[in-house]
């Protein structure tokens, strides 16, 4: 069995031990990694969220100026609340040929592989810079990386985003937009629904309409994706106080994951049209003050497939991949590409393991990533 280096495992265990769930700060992890990188000679820059409770870190080895390769990973992880883990999610554990822990594949595994190579990067006679980019709040809509990109003093030649792809080369992904719709009703006794408006019922009709719009969107397809169309989905609903009270308020949190090049805000506009024409008039009869308030919370761009991209070409050359895959999930690659930095996704682990209890990364995947990134460093010195 191929095995990763002990340095990779050590870094990954240390990274997992930091609880960087998106609702929490990532500064302790950033402090730890920055100290290690600066000790090795890296030039480091931070960019913060508005509250300065979270930071991106951009570290550079090698010559100054434009160019070079970005190795990019996010530091935040999704919650473990309510999940049935068989071990402490923030204490990495190797069992058999897998390492378990929150973030093992999504995506501290890639970051650990990059950090394990720092001594080699620092010692290499680089002709092109190697940049390490660590971001915050990827898991809540890729909210942190735009600040990192805005803060760049030099423009890299390309970026490799190490999301879990089983080390396959992924050259395109869907975008994503998260939306919150607040339904405002009028309280009253549930025996007389015509004298008020139940916000929960309004929310139900809204969700049904969202499902119909999702079906409409299936007419526009790209067979390279699975599913091959833009999707809509409501995933969180809150509302109501008692069975016999018409709910005053309900909230639907939903998303749109568009194919690259499609405008997710068009879906938001379509839902507003349906609300005004089809749903609200029914409830306004008993409650003129009833209404819907829709807010776009986050939105990140998709990554369009470009077979001539230098990032795709480099990843294929170094990995030996014949095919270029696509992904239905989103990554920060779309933001880098929008800023004019060609991007590709390639990293250890499977997205099938992400966000679940007993998240793991196969040790063979870490070993493959070690080997791949070592070739990236060699290319930068070539």
- Same domain? For 20 and 151 the reply is yes
- Same domain? For 78 and 164 the reply is yes
158-161 and 69-74 strand pairing: parallel
In this prediction, residues 358-371 reach a mean pLDDT of 97
Q: What does the alpha-carbon distance between residue 12 and residue 113 come to, in Å, rounded to a whole number? A: 8
Residue 1 lies in a domain: no
- Same domain? For 18 and 166 the reply is yes
Active site annotation includes 325: no
Q: What are residue 71's DSSP bridge partners?
A: 132, 160
CA atoms within 13 A on the CB side of 236: 9
Q: What does the alpha-carbon distance between residue 365 and residue 348 come to, in Å, rounded to a whole number? A: 5
Domain count, the chain: 2
pTM: 0.92
In this prediction, residues 270-292 reach a mean pLDDT of 96
- Same domain? For 76 and 87 the reply is yes
Q: What are residue 291's DSSP bridge partners?
A: 184
Residue-wise pLDDT for 28-78, tens only, equals 999 999 999 999 999 999 999 999 999 999 999 999 999 999 999 999 999
CATH of the domain at 318: 3.40.630.10
Active site annotation includes 76: yes
Tokens standing for residue 220:
């526009």
Q: What pLDDT does 1 receive? A: 44
The residue to which tokens 């989905």 are assigned: 233
Q: What pLDDT does 138 receive? A: 97
> Within 10 Å of residue 192's Cβ, how many Cβ atoms?
10
- Same domain? For 57 and 155 the reply is yes
Q: Residue 4: pLDDT band by 50, 70, 90 thresholds?
A: confident
- Same domain? For 293 and 271 the reply is yes
Out of 258, 275, 300, pick the residue that ends a domain.
Answer: 300
CATH of the domain at 276: 3.30.70.360
Cα dihedral 202/208/210/212 (nearest 10): -140
pLDDT at 181 over 90: yes
In this prediction, residues 112-131 reach a mean pLDDT of 97
The answer to whether the Cα torsion of 213, 215, 221, 225 is positive or negative is: positive
Q: What does the alpha-carbon distance between residue 170 and residue 315 come to, in Å, rounded to a whole number? A: 9
| Sheet containing 98-100, strands listed edge to edge, beginning at the edge strand earlier in sequence | 93-95, 98-100, 360-362
Residue 312 lies in a domain: yes
Q: What does the alpha-carbon distance between residue 205 and residue 250 come to, in Å, rounded to a whole number? A: 12
- Same domain? For 138 and 82 the reply is yes
- Same domain? For 363 and 255 the reply is no
378: left (phi over 0), alpha (psi -120 to 50) or beta: alpha
- Same domain? For 162 and 227 the reply is no
- Same domain? For 184 and 233 the reply is yes
Q: What pLDDT does 3 receive? A: 74
Q: What pLDDT does 278 receive? A: 97
Q: What pLDDT does 6 receive? A: 81
**Mean pLDDT of all residues belonging to the chain:** 96
From first CA to last CA, the distance across the chain in angstroms is: 30
Q: Residue 2: pLDDT band by 50, 70, 90 thresholds?
A: confident
- Same domain? For 155 and 244 the reply is no
Out of 280, 300, 320, pick the residue that ends a domain.
Answer: 300
Which residue from 11, 303, 253 is spatially nearest to 142, judged by alpha carbons?
A: 303
Residue 377 lies in a domain: yes
Confirm if 72 and 135 have CB atoms less than 8 A apart. Answer: yes
93-95 and 98-100 strand pairing: antiparallel
Residue 313 lies in a domain: yes
pLDDT at 286 over 50: yes
Which residue from 306, 328, 141 is spatially nearest to 221, judged by alpha carbons?
A: 328
- Same domain? For 135 and 38 the reply is yes
Out of 300, 327, 361, pick the residue that ends a domain.
Answer: 300
170-173 and 325-327 strand pairing: parallel
Residue 71 lies in a domain: yes
Residue range of the domain that includes 27: 6-173+301-381
Cα distances from 316 to residues 326, 333, 375, in angstroms, run 14, 17, 12
Residues 6+ positions from 75 with CB-CB distance below 8 Å: 18, 20, 26, 29, 30, 108, 111, 134, 135, 136
Q: Check 76, 137, 359, 370 and give the catalytic one.
A: 76
Residue 72 lies in a domain: yes
Q: Check 106, 138, 365, 370 and give the catalytic one.
A: 138
Residue 145 lies in a domain: yes
């Amino acid at each position: 069995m191929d095995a990763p280096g002990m340095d990779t495992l050590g870094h990954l265990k240390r990274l997992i031990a930091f609880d960087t769930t998106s609702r929490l700060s990532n500064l302790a992890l950033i402090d730890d990694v920055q100290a290690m990188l600066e000790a090795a000679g890296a030039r480091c820059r931070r960019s913060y969220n508005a509250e300065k409770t979270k930071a991106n870190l951009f570290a550079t080895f090698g010559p100054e100026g434009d160019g070079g390769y970005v190795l990019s990973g996010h530091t935040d992880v999704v919650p473990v609340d309510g999940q049935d883990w068989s071990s402490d999610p923030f204490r990495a554990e190797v069992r058999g040929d897998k390492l378990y822990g929150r973030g093992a594949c999504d995506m501290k595994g890639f970051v650990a592989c990059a950090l394990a190579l720092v001594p080699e990067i620092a010692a290499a006679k680089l002709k092109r810079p190697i940049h390490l980019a660590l971001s915050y709040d990827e898991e809540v809509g890729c909210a942190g990386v735009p600040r990192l990109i805005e803060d760049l003093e030099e423009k890299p030649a390309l970026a490799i985003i190490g999301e879990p792809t089983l080390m396959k080369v992924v050259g395109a992904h869907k975008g994503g937009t998260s939306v919150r719709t607040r339904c405002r009703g009028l309280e009253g006794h549930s025996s007389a629904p015509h004298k008020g408006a139940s916000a929960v019922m309004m929310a139900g009709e809204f969700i049904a309409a969202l499902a119909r719009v999702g079906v409409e969107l299936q007419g526009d397809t790209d067979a390279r994706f699975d599913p091959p169309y833009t999707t809509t989905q409501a995933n969180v609903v809150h509302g109501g106080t008692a069975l016999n009270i018409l709910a005053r308020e309900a909230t639907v949190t939903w998303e749109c994951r568009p194919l690259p090049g499609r405008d997710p805000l068009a879906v938001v506009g379509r839902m507003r049209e349906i609300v005004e024409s089809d749903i609200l008039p029914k409830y306004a009869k008993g409650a003129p003050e009833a209404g819907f308030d829709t807010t776009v919370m986050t939105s990140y761009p998709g990554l369009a497939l470009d077979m001539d991209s230098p990032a795709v070409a480099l990843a294929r050359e170094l990995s030996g991949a014949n095919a270029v895959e696509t992904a239905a999930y989103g990554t920060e690659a779309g933001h880098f590409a929008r800023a004019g930095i060609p991007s590709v996704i390639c990293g250890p682990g499977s997205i099938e393991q992400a966000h679940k209890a007993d998240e793991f990364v196969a040790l063979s995947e870490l070993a493959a990533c070690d080997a791949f990134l070592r070739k990236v460093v060699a290319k930068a010195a070539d």
